[in-house]
């Protein structure tokens, strides 16, 4: 199986793994979770952040849900994945990648897809508040000035 953060090179084993169905049930040809440094010609080729990721050493099944997974099993699996993430030296880089993409599936940077949606909504709300505050401040300076 492929790891959530795929390496840049495709070994014969990795090439054979591409033929396996994805853990999240999507077809192999569909866009999947990949690190921005994971593709040919992408930035950070010399030392991509994901090379030190703890999930590269663990079972990918922890990070992506199988088809029709029962809720209790999903919660347990996600908790195990988060424990791996908690000891990961690149947790923040992974999380920011997943938020910037945004990654729609799996546990990335210690957050589930639902948790990432909440973070993104909060960020959008906060950015809106900051823009409004800047607009009001600019208007007040014009009036005072």
Tens digit of each residue's pLDDT (9 = 90 or more) over 114-126? 999 999 999 999 9
What is the rounded average pLDDT of the residues 111-139?
A: 93
Q: Which SS3 state, helix, strand or coil, does residue 124 take? A: helix
What is the rounded average pLDDT of the residues 46-55?
A: 82
Tens digit of each residue's pLDDT (9 = 90 or more) over 62-95? 999 888 999 999 999 999 999 999 999 999 999 9
Residue 54 CA: distances (Å) to CA of 19, 35, 83, 110, 137: 24, 14, 10, 11, 45
Q: In this predicted structure, what is the pLDDT of residue 38?
A: 37
Q: Using alpha carbons only, give the angle 88, 8, 42 rounded to the nearest 5 degrees.
A: 100
CB 56 within 8 A of CB 48: no
CB 102 within 8 A of CB 31: no
What's the predicted TM-score (pTM) here? 0.63
């Amino acid at each position: 199986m492929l790891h959530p953060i795929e390496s840049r090179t495709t070994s014969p084993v990795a090439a054979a793994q591409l033929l396996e169905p994805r853990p999240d049930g999507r077809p192999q040809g569909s866009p999947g979770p990949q690190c921005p440094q994971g593709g040919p010609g992408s930035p950070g080729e010399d030392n991509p952040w994901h090379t030190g990721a703890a999930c590269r050493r663990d079972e990918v099944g922890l990070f992506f849900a199988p088809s029709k997974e029962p809720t209790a099993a999903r919660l347990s699996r996600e908790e195990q994945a988060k424990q791996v993430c908690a000891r990961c030296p690149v947790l923040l880089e992974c999380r920011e990648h997943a938020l910037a993409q945004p990654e729609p599936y799996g546990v990335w940077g210690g957050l589930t897809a639902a948790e990432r949606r909440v973070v993104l909504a909060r960020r959008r709300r906060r950015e809106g508040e900051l823009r409004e505050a800047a607009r009001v401040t600019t208007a007040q300076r014009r009036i005072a000035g």
